[in-house]
Structure 1
Amino acid sequence: MIFDLDDTLLDRNQAVDNMFLFTLENCYGNVEEGVKKEMMRKFKEYDKRSYGISDKTTVFEALFDEFPPINRLPQHEIKAFWNEHFPQCFSISEHTIKIVKAIKEHMKVAIITNGITQRQKAKIRNTRLHECFEIIMISEEAGYTKPDKRIFDLALDKLQVQPEEALFVGDDLEKDIRGSQDANLLGIWFNPDGIQNETDIKPYDEISSLDGLLTYLTPEVFS
């Protein structure tokens, strides 16, 4: 079983909230509660626009322009600030770790994630996920980015598993589900928020919780 990382194993939305609070503490000091809520809303909006872009300078510059800080980060320091502190904003629940370990008792487990190697490795190390997975493939290292089927092919080759014997679990219909299905894996859509699927992509299965994966711990699923 192969997993996506952000918004599947790790709650990126919560991490963005934590990053905002860290930025608030370091750049703004005390802010009135109503203003703080609006600042957080805008910060998350700016982050969403730049999702998948490695340089988050535009996120901070937009926030600083709209809400002038006490201590404005110099533009040339923003990328390093994000890369150093954002990975530390992630945490993982013990329940998720238990689910992964239960699956690992029955089949090989791996991660395929898009992103910058330094940042993704830091997230994985800080949450100790590296202790749970045989293979961790990061797009920058692999040279291919989901939904490119070649990154899935590389992971399967390293796992020594045939595509029809593998499941891929991810939250993004295009990158995770279409990408894995193009590589002939069974794509399971992790959809905890109950988002309506308005695409032509048809997942093999849809789950609202990782607990739903426990039903796949028998070989009959591939028969």
Structure 2
Amino acid sequence: MTVEAVIFDLDNTLINRKAAFQAYSERFIDQFVELSEQTDRAALLDYMREADQDGYRHKRELHEQFLQELTMKYAETTVDELLQFWFAEFFKSTVLMQGAVELLMALRSQGIKLGLITNGSVHTQNAKLDQAQLRDFFDVIVVSDEVQIKKPDQRIFELALERLGAAAARTWYVGDHPVNDIKGARDAGLSAIWLSGFMEWDDTLEEPSAKIGSLLEILDIVNR
């Protein structure tokens, strides 16, 4: 097919959210957590990563858990202070996925339209985009909280296609989440590329149109 557009997920697709949360957790511990000589820092980081649930945990609930279960340096610390730290600092830990900029530049040089669909808050997702200096690559950016539709609802994919002026049958979608990204995109009629390495594939789902382990593999798929 002639490719009109490629639409991307953001977290764990163009940016490495897993690595970003690790870096944020290190800063959070240094800022708020009282450590003893017996503290296993690696185990503490694993605990925080598991509690975060790859970003699918509500942030107030997550930080309430941290406040209740971790020993804070200051007894008067509140969950609102922790949340303020999150919104002020997390985006600063943004880590680009290897090959992301090279891929986007190559696709644009071929005249392919580029879109982005991401679940999350307007503030946080836009802050990550600006920190990573990715915004100018995209013709269309759709953030779930802004449009009040979340992946895997096919309407958010249809909205992005409409704004791009691209046909679903000539558009690829790239993401890491088997349901939110791959199933959602396929339900909307797009061809879907699954980026492996972050989430386990759900064997009850129809296979993706293509499976990759690194972003630059997309160029071969688009140029076939």
> TM over 0.5, yes or no?
yes
Aligned pairs for 1:111-190 (under 5 A) are 111-190=116-195
Aligned residues: 217
2:100 aligns with: 96
Gaps (5+ residues) in structure 2? 1-5
Deviation at 1:99, TM superposition (A): 1.2
User: Contact between 1:3 and 1:112, CA under 8 Å: does it hold in 2?
Assistant: yes
Instruction: Give the one of 91, 94, 116 matched to 1:87.
Output: 91
Between 74-83 and 26-35, report the one with greater CA deviation: 26-35
Separation in 1, partners of 2:87, 2:57: 12
2:71 aligns with: 68
Deviation at 1:62, TM superposition (A): 2.4
Gaps (5+ residues) in structure 1? none
Deviation at 1:67, TM superposition (A): 2.8
Between 2-11 and 134-143, report the one with greater CA deviation: 134-143
Separation in 1, partners of 2:50, 2:198: 18
Q: Do residues 216 (structure 1) and 189 (structure 2) align? A: no
User: 1:167 is matched by which residue type in structure 2?
Assistant: W
User: Contact between 1:177 and 1:203, CA under 8 Å: does it hold in 2?
Assistant: yes
Q: 1:82 to 1:199 in 2, by over 3 A?
A: same
Instruction: Give the one of 104, 109, 112 matched to 1:105.
Output: 109
SS in 1 for 2:216: helix
Instruction: Give the one of 24, 32, 52 matched to 1:27.
Output: 32
Q: Considering only aligned residues, what root-mean-square deviation do their CA atoms show, in Å?
A: 2.1
User: Contact between 2:152 and 2:181, CA under 8 Å: does it hold in 1?
Assistant: yes
Percent identity, aligned pairs only? 28
User: 1:66 is matched by which residue type in structure 2?
Assistant: E
Structure number with the bigger relative contact order (C-alpha 8 A, sep ≥ 6) is: 2
2:81 aligns with: 77
User: Contact between 1:5 and 1:112, CA under 8 Å: does it hold in 2?
Assistant: yes
2:46 aligns with: 41
Deviation at 1:69, TM superposition (A): 1.8
Separation in 1, partners of 2:37, 2:135: 40
